[in-house]
C-alpha cells in the first residue's frame, strides 16, 4: 500500500469544522480578531481547539504577505574582494571556516532574537568581482529580512550610510565610524591599554603586541589603547608592535624568527585565541615554556581553549553579551520601538589564568 503524507490543514478546513467563515478563522489564528469583528470568545476558543486537533501549521510565506514582516533578521558576512575572505575567517587558505569565537556571537544573537520570535539567518555579501556594499544594499531593499546586524566595521565603512538610505532597521555589532549609529561593542581602546598595563604590572618590559588589522575599527581601537599605555609606562624602547601578520601560521612563523634574535620578548599579547596557539607553538619549538619563560595572553577565548594547557589569561571582550544586547536593540527596532541612535561600549574583564606570570629575574 502506497504511503502518502496527508495534505496540510487549510483555513477552509478549520472553518468547515467550526461552521464559520474562512476570514473569521484567519483573524483568530493571526491574532487580528477584535471586538465588532463577529468573533466572540466562545467561537474563538472553538477555532483554536479545532486548529490544535487538526495540527494546523501557519504558512509563513503567506503570513509575511499579510503582515509585511518575515520574522527574520540577517547577520551580514562581508567577503573581501581582494583577500577573498572575511576579516573574521580563520585562514585565507580556508575561506569557508568561521573563527571559533564567532560561534559565541551566533549563539548570543540566535538566543536573544528567538525571544522575540525572530529567526537569525546568515547573509554573505560580496566575493570575487562582487562589491559587498552593492550586495548588501540589494539584500536590504529586497525585504527578505526585517532587520540587519552588521559587524567587522572598517574605519572608512560606508555601510551605515547605505542602510540609512534603505530605511531598513540595522544595528552595528562593534563600533561604527559614524557616531550617530545604533551600535553595541567592546571598548577596544581599553583592550589595548589594559593588556599592556596588566603585563607591565607583572614586571614585563619586553612585550610583543600582535594586533588585528588597523583598517578595522577593532584594530585601530586596540592600537590607540596600546599607544596610550606605551607612553604612560615608558615602553617606547621595549614594546614591539606587529599588525602585519595574522592567524596561527602567521604569528607562529614571525615569532619563531623573532626568537632567534637577541632580547626576546618576555610577554606576548596575541590578537585572538588562534594566533595565541601559533605563539605557543613557536615557543615550544624554541624550547621555551609558558609562562615560566614567556607569558602569553589574548582577548578572545573560545570554548575549546579550555582544553588547552595552560589555560590562557584573557581580557574577556564579552562576545555573547555584546551580541545579545545588539539582538535586543534590533528586535525593538523591528517592532517599531524608537531606539536612541548612539553607540554603547562594554568594558573588557581580565580573567587571569595559567599562561601569564612575572618574568624570570624581572627582565
Residues 198 and 252 reside in one and the same domain:
yes
- CATH number, domain of 114, equals 3.40.50.2300
Mean pLDDT, the chain, as a whole number? 85
Residues 217 and 354 reside in one and the same domain:
yes
Residues 205 and 312 reside in one and the same domain:
yes
Cα–Cα distance measured from residue 281 to residue 321, given in angstroms and rounded to the nearest whole number: 31
In this structure, the chain runs to a length of 363
Query: pTM for this structure?
Result: 0.79
For 214, phi then psi, to 5°, come to -80, -10
Lowest mean pLDDT among 28-42, 219-233, 271-285, 289-303: 28-42
Three-state DSSP class for residue 261: coil
Total number of domains constituting the chain: 3
C-beta neighbour count of 325 within 10 angstroms:
20
**Among residues 323, 322, 348, which one has the least CA distance to residue 113?**
323
Predicted pLDDT of residue 141 = 86
- CB-CB contact of 200 with 231 (8 Å): no
Predicted pLDDT of residue 58 = 63
Between 70 and 323, whose confidence is greater? 323
Predicted pLDDT of residue 102 = 80
In the 8-state DSSP scheme, what is residue 5? P
Domain range for 295: 188-318+350-362
Find the mean pLDDT for residues 265-289. Answer: 95
Find the mean pLDDT for residues 71-82. Answer: 76
User: CA separation (Å) from 225 to 63, 173, 216?
Assistant: 49, 20, 14
Q: What is the pLDDT of residues 348-357, one digit of tens each?
A: 999 999 999 9
Q: Does residue 2 sit within a domain?
A: no
Burial grade of 93 (CB within 10 A; 0-12, 13-18, 19 or more)? exposed
Cα–Cα distance measured from residue 290 to residue 231, given in angstroms and rounded to the nearest whole number: 27
Residues 114 and 140 reside in one and the same domain:
yes
Predicted pLDDT of residue 284 = 96
Three-state DSSP class for residue 267: strand
Residues 219 and 354 reside in one and the same domain:
yes
The most distant pair of C-alpha atoms in the chain lies apart, rounded to whole Å, by: 89
Cα–Cα distance measured from residue 8 to residue 59, given in angstroms and rounded to the nearest whole number: 10
Residues 164 and 199 reside in one and the same domain:
no
Q: Does residue 291 sit within a domain?
A: yes
- CATH number, domain of 24, equals 1.10.260.40
Residues 324 and 355 reside in one and the same domain:
no
- CB-CB contact of 230 with 196 (8 Å): yes
Q: Does residue 88 sit within a domain?
A: yes
Q: Which three cell numbers stand for residue 200?
A: 607591565
- What share of residues in the chain are helix, strand, coil (percent, to 5)? 40, 20, 40
Rg, C-alpha atoms of the chain: 26
Three-state DSSP class for residue 280: helix
Predicted pLDDT of residue 24 = 82
In the 8-state DSSP scheme, what is residue 277? H
Find the mean pLDDT for residues 61-86. Answer: 63
Is residue 98 pLDDT above 80, yes or no?
Answer: no
Residues 220 and 356 reside in one and the same domain:
yes
Q: At what angle do helices 22-29 and 11-18 cross, to 10 degrees?
A: 110
- CB-CB contact of 300 with 314 (8 Å): yes
Find the mean pLDDT for residues 187-194. Answer: 98
Predicted pLDDT of residue 44 = 82
Residues 327 and 312 reside in one and the same domain:
no
Is residue 95 pLDDT above 60, yes or no?
Answer: no
Residues 32 and 94 reside in one and the same domain:
no
Query: What single string gives the DSSP state of each residue in 315-347?
Result: EE--HHHHHHHHHHHHHHHHTT------EEEEP
**pLDDT > 70: what percent of the chain?**
85
Lowest mean pLDDT among 59-68, 102-111, 117-126, 321-330: 59-68
Is residue 220 pLDDT above 50, yes or no?
Answer: yes
Instruction: Band the pLDDT of 83: cuts 50, 70, 90.
Output: very low
Find the mean pLDDT for residues 160-170. Answer: 92
For 222, phi then psi, to 5°, come to -65, -40
**pLDDT > 90: what percent of the chain?**
56
Is residue 26 pLDDT above 90, yes or no?
Answer: no
Between 301 and 322, whose confidence is greater? 322
Q: What is the pLDDT of residues 290-306, one digit of tens each?
A: 999 999 999 987 777 77
Strand ranges (DSSP E) for 21-159?
72-79, 89-91, 94-98, 119-126, 147-151
Residues 110 and 148 reside in one and the same domain:
yes
Is residue 288 pLDDT above 70, yes or no?
Answer: yes
Find the mean pLDDT for residues 148-159. Answer: 92
Q: Which three cell numbers stand for residue 153?
A: 566595521
Amino acid at each position: 500500500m502506497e504511503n502518502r503524507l496527508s495534505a496540510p490543514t487549510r483555513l477552509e478546513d478549520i472553518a468547515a469544522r467550526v461552521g464559520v467563515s474562512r476570514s473569521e478563522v484567519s483573524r483568530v489564528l493571526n491574532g487580528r480578531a477584535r471586538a465588532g469583528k463577529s468573533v466572540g470568545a466562545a467561537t474563538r476558543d472553538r477555532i483554536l481547539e479545532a486548529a490544535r486537533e487538526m495540527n494546523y501549521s501557519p504558512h509563513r510565506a503567506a503570513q509575511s504577505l499579510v503582515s509585511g514582516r518575515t520574522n527574520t533578521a540577517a547577520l551580514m558576512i562581508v567577503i573581501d574582494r581582494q583577500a577573498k575572505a572575511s576579516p573574521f575567517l580563520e585562514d585565507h587558505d580556508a575561506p569557508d571556516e568561521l573563527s571559533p569565537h564567532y560561534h559565541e556571537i551566533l549563539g548570543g544573537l540566535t538566543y536573544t532574537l528567538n525571544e522575540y520570535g525572530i529567526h537569525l539567518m546568515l547573509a554573505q555579501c560580496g566575493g570575487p568581482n562582487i562589491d559587498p556594499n552593492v550586495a548588501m544594499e540589494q539584500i536590504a531593499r529586497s525585504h527578505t529580512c526585517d532587520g540587519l546586524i552588521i559587524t567587522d566595521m572598517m574605519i572608512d565603512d560606508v555601510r551605515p550610510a547605505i542602510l540609512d538610505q534603505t530605511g531598513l532597521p540595522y544595528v552595528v555589532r562593534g563600533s561604527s565610524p559614524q557616531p550617530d549609529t545604533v551600535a553595541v561593542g567592546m571598548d577596544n581602546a581599553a583592550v589595548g591599554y589594559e593588556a599592556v598595563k596588566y603585563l607591565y604590572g607583572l614586571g614585563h618590559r619586553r612585550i610583543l603586541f600582535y594586533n588585528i588589522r588597523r583598517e578595522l575599527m577593532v584594530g585601530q581601537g586596540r592600537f590607540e589603547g596600546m599607544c596610550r599605555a606605551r607612553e604612560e609606562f615608558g615602553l617606547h624602547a621595549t614594546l614591539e608592535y606587529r599588525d602585519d601578520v595574522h592567524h596561527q601560521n602567521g604569528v607562529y612563523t614571525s615569532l619563531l624568527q623573532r626568537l632567534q634574535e637577541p632580547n626576546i620578548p618576555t610577554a606576548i599579547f596575541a590578537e585572538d585565541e588562534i594566533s595565541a596557539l601559533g605563539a605557543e607553538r613557536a615557543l615550544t619549538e624554541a624550547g621555551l615554556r609558558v609562562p615560566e619563560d614567556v607569558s602569553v595572553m589574548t582577548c578572545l577565548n573560545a570554548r575549546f581553549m579550555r582544553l588547552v594547557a595552560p589555560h590562557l589569561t584573557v581580557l574577556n571582550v564579552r562576545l555573547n553579551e555584546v551580541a545579545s544586547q545588539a539582538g535586543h536593540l534590533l528586535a525593538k527596532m523591528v517592532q517599531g520601538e524608537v531606539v536612541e541612535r548612539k553607540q554603547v561600549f562594554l568594558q573588557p574583564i581580565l580573567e587571569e589564568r595559567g599562561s601569564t606570570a612575572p618574568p624570570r629575574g624581572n627582565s
